[in-house]
A and B are shown apart, each in its own frame.
Chain A
Amino acid sequence: MAKRVAVVVSQGQSHHPAKRQLEEEIVASLLGESSVDVTVIPHLYDLKPDGSAILCLQGIAQELIVLSWMFPRATRWILGRYGVLGQEGASLLDQPSDDAEDEEAEIPEPSAELQDALPRVIESIEIPKRKIYCLNLANAKEPSVFVDEIRRIVTEAQVQPLQPIDWLQGKPKPEQVKRMLDPAPGNVEHQGSGNGSVTDPQHDPANVIEETTERRWYPVIDMSRCTNCMECIDFCLFGVYGIDQADTILVEQPDNCRKGCPACSRVCPENAILFPQHKTPAIAGSGDATEAIKIDLSKLFGSPDVDAVEMAVRERDEQLLIAGRETVGDAVGIASRSASHAAGDADDLDRLIDQLDALDL
């Protein structure tokens, strides 16, 4: 049985016509593909935790490709929040200039020594074998770039003998049972029979999940970087963070987060906290400042210049004031960080911000 791959298109937040058109053209092209199931959802970040789109994502057990207007890290760990986990699928779109074989060595980790020393939260999470590929729709303007990459991934998925094992062990997943009982028209088996059908194979229309969303704002933790150091829970004074039963950090009350405030991501020593909608690529989840797509005019429009921790402290004070509380300056929640980093290098985020600042003059 040919393996099917789920493709989920997460729509952009803004109504930019070019974005909508790209999404629509990709979906239209994929409806002609026989081994993909296409689902269209509102912007992934804004989804309600108990809404139908999240339920749908949680119900997908096979290989999954998610296209969204976010950096792949952000997409991957928003999914992770909802328990939609899988091995990280390597997309060729992430490394436009390098061979895919280089990718392991290519990922720059400025804190490589720390990385060896400190266990990451991801090591304690059970991650299913299926792969999840996250593609950033901002990476290219032509739908064909994404459609070609999806075809490549589908081909790659066909050669991984993961699901047949589940079948032999008698543990079919619910979708697999459903597909066997109710095979979709136009899948590979039907076409492959080659007995000269003259009508076009029929394809399922895209599954469009309508859900009213409002813009949300909350941190997303990259568990492959997070060391459970608890700097964020100490720093945030709005009760966003909590710990789970295994004492692992958790974004417990995401909607307590102060809209526009990325302060905790600035104090995270591992650059593990993302705000996918923040305009600074390093905070939005790029691995790399050069992924900046648009010109940032903020300095010209009056944004002041300060270092990352100062900025975080100021942002937090602003939010405390807006909430009618007393400011705390740098007296709360940053002491342990400065101690552990007293003699250390600037962290990843500081470096990225320095690079961004350097660009401004």
Chain B
Amino acid sequence: MNLVFKMGEYEANFPADRKYAPNHMWALGTEGSWRFGFSAYAVRLLQDVYFLDWEVAPGMQVEQGKHIGDIESSKAESTLHAPLAGTITSINAQLLQDPSAINVDKYGEGWLFEMDASGDALLEPTAYLEHLEDVWEVTQKTIKGQFNQ
């Protein structure tokens, strides 16, 4: 079952089979070991991703919020930050060659990396949707503010 959040006209879908991090990543896994990818909210903001680069490698310990990589799309760019404190265990190497899976299959083949970490800070889908309600206005201001410069 999917939850839906309206970003203007666009309906962003969020599978209820997983948890979410406030920085717009989904987390799928069991307690202690998680696979992360971009939520539909992040992908909608980024649009066509064509460049992804990581500052981290498997085995590396990261603090929550640490700059772990960079992403660039046709419309936007961003630094990427660790959703939790923990150890990176795997990175989706396919995406480095061709990041299009992020757009095509964001909840499956487009996964980003895996971490060993405590998932206590992750949000249940409904809580993530409430978080989106809170940040949607700021998001729009960010985008419009940068467009108008």
Chain A interface residues toward B at CB < 8 A: 13-16, 18, 215, 259-260, 279, 290, 292, 294-304, 318, 322, 359-361
Residues of B within 8 Å of A16, CB to CB, are 50-51, 74
User: A-B pairs with CB below 8 Å: how many?
Assistant: 85
Residues of A within 8 Å of B149, CB to CB, are 290, 292, 359
In the complex, B143 has a CB within 8 A of chain A: yes
Contact B24 A300 (CB under 8 A): yes
Q: How many Å lie between the Cα of A290 and that of B149 in the bound state? A: 7
Residues of B within 8 Å of A304, CB to CB, are 65
Tell me, rounded to whole Å, the shortest Cβ–Cβ distance linking A203 to chain B: 32
Could you pull out 5 A-B pairs where Cβ atoms are within 8 angstroms?
Answer: A16-B50, A16-B74, A259-B55, A294-B76, A303-B65
Contact A18 B74 (CB under 8 A): yes
Q: How many Å lie between the Cα of A361 and that of B45 in the bound state? A: 17
Among the listed B22, B51, B55, B77, which residue makes an inter-chain contact with A297, where contact means beta carbons less than 8 Å apart? B77
Contact A300 B139 (CB under 8 A): yes
In the complex where A15-B50, A259-B55 touch, is A297 in contact with B45 (Cβ < 8 A)?
yes
Residues of A within 8 Å of B50, CB to CB, are 14-16
Q: How many Å lie between the Cα of A318 and that of B138 in the bound state? A: 29
Contact A301 B80 (CB under 8 A): yes
In the complex where A260-B67, A300-B24 touch, is A360 in contact with B78 (Cβ < 8 A)?
no
| Nearest opposing residue in chain B for A297, CB measure | B78
Tell me, rounded to whole Å, the shortest Cβ–Cβ distance linking A289 to chain B: 8
Chain B interface residues toward A at CB < 8 A: 22-24, 42, 45-46, 50-51, 53, 55, 60, 65-67, 70, 72, 74-81, 83, 135, 138-139, 141-143, 145-147, 149
Q: How many Å lie between the Cα of A238 and that of B50 in the bound state? A: 32
Contact B81 A301 (CB under 8 A): yes
Residues of B within 8 Å of A359, CB to CB, are 142, 145-146, 149
Residues of A within 8 Å of B24, CB to CB, are 300-301
Contact B66 A298 (CB under 8 A): no
Q: How many Å lie between the Cα of A206 and that of B2 in the bound state? A: 53
Contact B76 A297 (CB under 8 A): yes
Q: How many Å lie between the Cα of A303 and that of B68 in the bound state? A: 10
Residues of B within 8 Å of A303, CB to CB, are 65, 67, 78-79, 81
Residues of A within 8 Å of B53, CB to CB, are 215
| Nearest opposing residue in chain B for A304, CB measure | B65
Residues of A within 8 Å of B139, CB to CB, are 300
Among the listed A260, A296, A360, which residue makes an inter-chain contact with B55, where contact means beta carbons less than 8 Å apart? A260
Contact A360 B76 (CB under 8 A): no
Among the listed A259, A260, A302, which residue makes an inter-chain contact with B81, where contact means beta carbons less than 8 Å apart? A302
Residues of A within 8 Å of B66, CB to CB, are 318
Contact A301 B78 (CB under 8 A): yes
Contact B78 A296 (CB under 8 A): yes
Tell me, rounded to whole Å, the shortest Cβ–Cβ distance linking B131 to chain A: 12
Contact B76 A295 (CB under 8 A): yes
| Nearest opposing residue in chain A for B149, CB measure | A290
| Nearest opposing residue in chain B for A17, CB measure | B50
Known: A14-B50, A297-B77, A301-B78. 6 other contacts (CB 8 A): A295-B77, A296-B146, A297-B142, A300-B45, A300-B142, A302-B23
Contact A301 B42 (CB under 8 A): yes
The 7 closest A-B pairs by CB, nearest first: A302-B23, A302-B81, A297-B78, A14-B51, A295-B76, A298-B79, A260-B55
Count chain A CB atoms within 10 A of each CB in B23, B51, B67, B83 and give the residue with the most: B67
Contact A297 B83 (CB under 8 A): no
Residues of A within 8 Å of B76, CB to CB, are 294-297
Residues of A within 8 Å of B51, CB to CB, are 13-14, 16
Count chain B CB atoms within 10 A of each CB in A279, A302, A361 and give the residue with the most: A302
Contact B78 A361 (CB under 8 A): no
Tell me, rounded to whole Å, the shortest Cβ–Cβ distance linking B25 to chain A: 9
Q: How many Å lie between the Cα of A359 and that of B142 in the bound state? A: 7
| Nearest opposing residue in chain A for B139, CB measure | A300
| Nearest opposing residue in chain A for B138, CB measure | A361
Residues of A within 8 Å of B138, CB to CB, are 300, 361
Q: How many Å lie between the Cα of A259 and that of B139 in the bound state? A: 29
| Nearest opposing residue in chain A for B56, CB measure | A322
| Nearest opposing residue in chain B for A355, CB measure | B149
Q: How many Å lie between the Cα of A318 and that of B149 in the bound state? A: 33
Contact A302 B65 (CB under 8 A): yes
Count chain A CB atoms within 10 A of each CB in B55, B78, B83, B135 and give the residue with the most: B78
Contact B79 A294 (CB under 8 A): no
Q: How many Å lie between the Cα of A189 and that of B46 in the bound state? A: 51
| Nearest opposing residue in chain B for A356, CB measure | B146
In the complex where A16-B74, A301-B79 touch, is A292 in contact with B146 (Cβ < 8 A)?
yes
Contact B22 A322 (CB under 8 A): no
Residues of B within 8 Å of A18, CB to CB, are 74
Contact B78 A300 (CB under 8 A): yes
